Chains A and B, each alone.
Chain A
Amino acid sequence: MRLSVKSATLLTLLAFVVVAPLFFPSSFYYRVGALIFVNGLAVTGMVILTGWAGQISLGHAGFAGIGAYACALAPEHLGLHPALAVLLGAVISAVLAWLVGRPILRLKGYYLGVASLGFGILVSMVLNNERDLTRGPDGIDVADLGLRGLLKDAGLDLSNGQFWYFFCGFSLMLGAWFALNIFNSPTGRALRALHGSEIAARTVGIDVPRLKLQAFVISAVYASVAGSLLALQNKFITPDVAGFMHSVEMVTMAVLGGVSSVIGAIFGAAVLTLLPQVLTVFAEYEQLVLGLIMVLVMIFLREGVVPSFLRKFRGNEA
């Protein structure tokens, strides 16, 4: 029996989350793993937006910034539990995405690219400038999620690194499960249809701008939650999380691995998260490498590494 894409993806992720720690040379790798999962989550949102709805955002880090700073600010100023702060960040991101996306998604594809670029820059400008609230470029402390303590009381004693590794791993699996549910549902079919032929999609009754807007909002929530998880595990966050380069990283990760495949995009996230950790000179060349990857993949391997590889491997099926 052949596995569906959904089961295959989820099983691969599960196997990776559980088995990888057996090979970790040091506990530092729990942290690297957790970062991979967080980036994987953000990039899964890009798959929905770019891979399936065919829209491009160059400002998704802005939403990650909102999610992250919600966790830094809401517990302190509103007395919210950090878990609720994650939710608050997601709601704010969704509302902003809706407001920004609504007029723009009626227009041609590059308009969203430009508008989201501007949006991202605006968010990071606010985070840098509003020192009274955000403490500016130096960053701000983030409250503890408190879940590790609860687990400990319940008899499961994990190190901080281990806890965040598994917590982010399972969050990613949940995110991937949602995305793959969409893929096979009527909504997913409509998304792929509009990607195939927008005109035909409209004539079969698909409200194209509305559907694109839904994809944009959902992907913004993914980025926001990823930003929250990043802030919570680091217990500290700087405005860099909302910076333009972070947006570019998200796009590049998705594009490298395969922007229309969840597992592909997560693979891309893994590669580009790992690289700077193993190659210390990478920071110097980051922009060069990201730029090159974007250009080369788009010209020579438009589907991305993983789908191209799978196609070779299994013959002509997706």
Chain B
Amino acid sequence: MATVPVGTALPTASPHPDRALDTRPSVRRRRWSRRRAANAVYWGACAAALAGVAAPVVWVLAGVVNSGLRDWHWSVLTTQTVGTGGGLLNAIAGTLVIVVGVAVIVGIVGIAGGIYLAEFCPEGRGGLLRGGSEILSGAPSIVLGYVGYVTLVVRFHWGFSLAAALAVLSVMVVPYVVKATEVSLRSVPTAYRDGSEALGMPSGYALRRVVLRPALPGIVTGLIVAMAIAVGETAPLLYTAGWSNNLPTAHLFHAPIAYLTYPVWTFYNQPYASAHRLAAVAALLLVVLALLMIVVSRIIVAVTQRHSETSSAPH
């Protein structure tokens, strides 16, 4: 509680200096209780907002985990789908292949694009790249899937395939990585750039050795978001990947591939208990996969930031 010693002239911008300096006990008490009330209101509002965000998350998680665990049996990890029953090994493997593929493509293209926009693109240029990227991120995924189907799958004769799935998913999520990379690079303190330039480092070298590092958490977060979206997408994959009861093959084209969102979406509408069971387990696996990605990204961030200006971890 900030009491004002009697007789102290405070440098104050208040339009009523005499009121601000009014230090009679009754006035002070009234102010104190008013401030306490305001404080309580703010705390209440914050708590309500937190609950508003947390409740649906907890609800969804609880539902998914509950039904997933009820129907859990370890053989889903080791056997392939047969009709609407069996296991999910093919879908797990397929999703991993797709996510890794997307991460590689988007990691290279998106990070390169973001670096170009933030570092090398002359002032006032890059509007095309930026605008295109924004339009892409606004396009509904089912539209992208449809376009992918019409052009890649049908016109180019790629068939339902890993290539078509990767192409559409990458196009869909690359804007997130471009944006994340550009924003994080731009927020790197200019002191690092000045310092490395003044030492005579070539700009590419300075970027790799000094400037990229503090930007990494933002870039990794963007990449993880992109991967999470790729894991969770259904519509574009229905159009491009098809579905397969078999494990992924080394063929990029003409080989449909399985993925975890398919059973969740399709099997749930089947009138069989085994299909419902697989849908519940697939949903649980999707949640676990998303959590794993978050954990991995945290670890990457922690390791790369151990010398950062803001890291408070003791050495």
Q: Tell whether A pairs with B.
A: no
